[in-house]
Amino acid sequence: METLSVFWNLVPITLLQGVIYGFVALGIMVPFRMLSFPDLTAEGSFPLGGAVAAAAIAGGLDPIPATALAVSAGMLAGSTTALIHLTLKLNTLLCGIIVLTMLFSINIRVMGTPNTPLFAYDNMFHVLLGGAARVLEAQIALVAGLVLATAGLLFAYLKTEAGLALRAVGANQMMARAQGISIWRQTVWGIALAGGLCALGGAIVAQNQSFADVNMGFGVLLNGLAAVIVGETLVGRATILRQVLAPVVGAVVYYQAISFALALGLAPSDLKLLTGLFVLLMLAVPSIRGRRETLRIRE
Amino acid sequence: MLAVEGLRKTFNAGTPNARVALDGVSLTLEEGDFAVVIGGNGAGKSTFLNAIAGEVGVDAGSIRIDGADVTRLPTHRRAGAIARVFQDPLAGTAGAMTIEENLALALRRGSRARLAFALGEQRRERFRVALAGFGLGLEGRLGQKVELLSGGQRQSLALAMAILVAPRILLLDEHTAALDPKTAAAVMAATVNAVDSARLTTLMVTHNMQHAIDYGNRLLMMADGRIIFEARGAEKRRLTVEALVARFHLTDDKMLLA
Ligand SMILES: Nc1ncnc2c1ncn2[C@@H]1O[C@H](COP(=O)(O)OP(=O)(O)OP(=O)(O)O)[C@@H](O)[C@H]1O
Ligand SMILES: [Mg+2]
């Protein structure tokens, strides 16, 4: 079977892609699931992370501080979305669209050009893996370790008093206020954290492919959302541990599924349509089910 | 303890829909006072409690707690002093979180959340003790999500959360109104028990005249955004449901002449 062998040969490179996008999926899960704040900023903070990391590395900064800078930029982008929502009381989706659109211009400003090649520079893989920097298996192990460590830290955080405060804001704002929790503080911090995670994903992608492009964010939100949904279907979301593992597992599985679809001969340009339909279907299932239940009750 | 002076609040001021909800309300509660608030629909009772809690900003007047002016403070910065139980059992608890997580939030009400694990065996033991008194078996279900609980169980949890750490002021807004009679009686008994044993300074809104007569050392009646009648001490003890009804021509359906 040629299809299978094509797919099989792509498994490792797709696995790397999957674990990298695990950061983005985590950054999408936090606003949607922890804060009940549907946020689209990912679409802008992801390329922002790539742009900032690339510009910094090309400007002579070491890859690790450059990556940290990218994360800070993503956090700033997230805070901006949150603050627009909190001050102007605009719909969160609209706030996200405004910020991600503005980020397109900012990303070009940051890089000075629409794309920045990094082939001439050492990147985080060189720093962290040394001689094994170009070994795919080593790259996978490194990023998988990083994303699992991040998920672990997030899990631990969500179990602290501070993490409970964050989740309370997503669960019941009236109750959160009555318990002395600042909606503003938790929302800004949570959306900033999400922006930082998405930017980290962008920074790693840029360094892995050795260039950053202003268009690299296109469709990343829907991909991330699809990954979260796949993960939640497989892992569930009944506990915080599952909720935190789901995006990572989901990203890995989702990108393998995409790769399989491509191996079957699907045109890459049709992927966005399919991903959109998939997300739509998954979102429709519970609401269709819900409708049936209410019908049954009425009978 | 609580000193409220000349509170005024008009909703939708300057529009055809303007509603005067508070029209100069003043009230001083001494430490340990248990004041019951009655009054018809739209009298301003909930707005009064919301103003004290910080959920509703007032147009004029002042609110002091233990001498500190909190009039302009947002809800979350008053929460250290104030605990609330709402009419809606869904309002006071976080359904997506577990029973023990809700209690852990209540344990730290008003203090800064720390970067320390919220739950430990010691805390769980404290929560079990706090819940056991309700006799609902909730102490054995600490790890379950609150959305799995019935309305009465959820309201009992909300009350347990409110009194877990004694608040300076306890605000109860028809907190048994949404429950079936048996559960309502149990939650009310638990409330009175907690208020009496910890001598909590309490403001309780009710439409149940019998409760208004039976409980508390002060009775306030509100109408049109004002406190129009108050009885305390011996005078309150002499009041009867019939006397109240006769005196104020109460015809409101919601006034349960239980
Ligand atoms: N958020 C709001 N916006 C506009 N008007 C409001 C708002 N909240 C209350 N009101 C109005 O203020 C007045 C007082 O309402 P409030 O809820 O305080 O009455 P209440 O005494 O608690 O009544 P009930 O016994 O029905 O609970 C009413 O006329 C009400 O319509
Ligand atoms: Mg009311």
**Structure confidence at residue A290 (pLDDT):** 65
- Cβ–ligand 1 distance for B56 under 6 Å, the answer no
Residue type, A24: V
**Structure confidence at residue B258 (pLDDT):** 40
SS3 A252: helix
Is B115 within 8 Å of A179 when comparing Cβ atoms? no
Mean pLDDT of the region B231-257: 74
Given a cut of 70, whether residue B26 has pLDDT beyond it is: yes
C-alpha span between B193 and B191 (Å, rounded): 5
Is residue A270 exposed (0-12), middle (13-18) or buried (19+ Cβ within 10 Å)? Answer: exposed
Which residues, including other chains, have CB under 8 Å from residue B230's CB and lie 6 or more apart? Answer: B218, B219, B220, B221
| Domain A2-266, second-level architecture | Orthogonal Bundle (1.10)
- Among B46, B220, B222, name the best residue to mutate to test ligand 1's pocket (greatest count of ligand atoms within 8 A of Cβ): B46
Is residue B12 exposed (0-12), middle (13-18) or buried (19+ Cβ within 10 Å)? Answer: exposed
C-alpha span between B118 and B124 (Å, rounded): 10
Q: Cα dihedral sign for B99, B103, B104, B106? A: positive
**Structure confidence at residue A298 (pLDDT):** 40
Is A181 within 8 Å of B113 when comparing Cβ atoms? yes
**Structure confidence at residue B245 (pLDDT):** 78
The token pair at B13 is: 């001021």
CA atoms within 13 Å, Cβ hemisphere of B101:
27
Task: Select from B74, B90, B117 the Cβ nearest to the Cβ of A159.
Answer: B117
C-alpha span between A233 and B246 (Å, rounded): 63
Interface of chain A against chain B, CB under 8 Å? 156-157, 159-165, 167-168, 170-172, 174-183
Atom of ligand 1 nearest to the CA of B42: 19
CA B113 to chain centre: 24
C-alpha span between B66 and B29 (Å, rounded): 10
Q: How confident is the model over B164-193, as pLDDT tens digits?
A: 999 999 999 999 999 999 989 999 999 999
In the DSSP assignment, the letter for residue B88 is S
Residues of chain B contacting residue A180, judged by C-beta atoms under 8 Å apart: 76-77, 79-80, 108-111
Given a cut of 60, whether residue B255 has pLDDT beyond it is: no
The residues pairing with B9 across neighbouring beta strands, listed in sequence order, are: B22
Whole-number percent of chain B with pLDDT over 90: 83
Is B75 within 8 Å of A178 when comparing Cβ atoms? yes
In the DSSP assignment, the letter for residue B98 is B
User: Among B224, B232, B176, which Cα is nearest to B21's?
Assistant: B224
Given a cut of 60, whether residue B253 has pLDDT beyond it is: no
- Cβ–ligand 1 distance for B57 under 6 Å, the answer no
CATH of B2-81+167-248 given 3.40.462.20, 3.40.50.150, 3.40.50.300, 1.10.15.40: 3.40.50.300
What is the CA angle B217-B222-B223, rounded to 5?
A: 160
The residues pairing with A116 across neighbouring beta strands, listed in sequence order, are: A212
Q: How confident is the model over B71-84, as pLDDT tens digits?
A: 999 999 999 999 99
Q: How confident is the model over B106-145, as pLDDT tens digits?
A: 999 988 889 999 999 999 999 999 999 888 899 999 999 9
For tokens 């208004």, the residue is B212
CA distance B95 to chain A (A): 7
What's the B46 CA to ligand 2 centre distance in angstroms? 4
CA distance B144 to chain A (A): 10
Packing angle between helix A220-235 and helix A42-58, nearest 10 degrees?
110
Strand pairing of B34-39 and B218-223? parallel
- Cβ–ligand 1 distance for B43 under 6 Å, the answer yes
- Cβ–ligand 1 distance for B160 under 6 Å, the answer no
Task: Select from B77, B106, B119 the Cβ nearest to the Cβ of A179.
Answer: B106
C-alpha dihedral (B98, B100, A194, A86), degrees to nearest 10: 90
| Complex ipTM | 0.92
Q: Determine the length of chain B.
A: 258
Neighbours of A6 (CB within 10 A): 15
Is residue B135 exposed (0-12), middle (13-18) or buried (19+ Cβ within 10 Å)? Answer: exposed
- Cβ–ligand 1 distance for B32 under 6 Å, the answer no
> Rg of the Cα trace of chain B?
18
Mean pLDDT of the region B60-89: 96
CB A238 within 8 A of CB B97: no
pTM of the predicted structure, to 2 decimals:
0.93
pLDDT in tens, chain A (299 residues): 678 888 999 999 999 999 999 999 999 999 999 999 999 999 999 999 999 999 999 999 999 999 999 999 999 999 999 999 999 999 999 999 999 999 999 999 999 999 999 999 999 999 999 989 999 999 999 999 999 999 999 999 999 999 999 999 999 999 999 999 999 999 999 999 999 999 999 999 999 999 999 999 899 999 999 999 999 999 999 999 999 999 999 999 999 999 999 998 888 888 889 888 988 888 887 777 766 555 544 43
Task: Select from A160, A163, A180 the Cβ nearest to the Cβ of B80.
Answer: A180
- Cβ–ligand 1 distance for B45 under 6 Å, the answer yes
Mutate to test the interface with A, among B76, B165, B175 (most CBs of A within 10 A): B76
CB B132 within 8 A of CB B160: no
Neighbours of A13 (CB within 10 A): 14
Given a cut of 80, whether residue B57 has pLDDT beyond it is: yes
CA atoms within 13 Å, Cβ hemisphere of A121:
25
pLDDT band per the 50, 70, 90 thresholds, residue B256: very low
User: Among B100, B58, B52, B119, which Cα is nearest to B79's?
Assistant: B52
**Structure confidence at residue B86 (pLDDT):** 96
Atom of ligand 1 nearest to the CA of B49: 18
Task: Select from B91, B113, B114 the Cβ nearest to the Cβ of A174.
Answer: B91
How many A×B Cβ pairs under 8 Å?
A: 96
**Structure confidence at residue B249 (pLDDT):** 66
CA A49 to chain centre: 11
CA distance A164 to chain B (A): 7
Strands (E), B44-122: 60-65, 68-69, 82-85
The residues pairing with B145 across neighbouring beta strands, listed in sequence order, are: B98
Helical residues (DSSP H) of chain A, grouped into ranges:
2-29, 42-58, 63-88, 92-111, 124-129, 136-158, 161-171, 173-178, 183-209, 220-235, 240-263, 271-298
C-alpha span between A225 and A276 (Å, rounded): 10
Q: Which residues are placed with Cβ below 5 angstroms of ligand 2, an ion?
A: B 46
- Cβ–ligand 1 distance for B42 under 6 Å, the answer yes
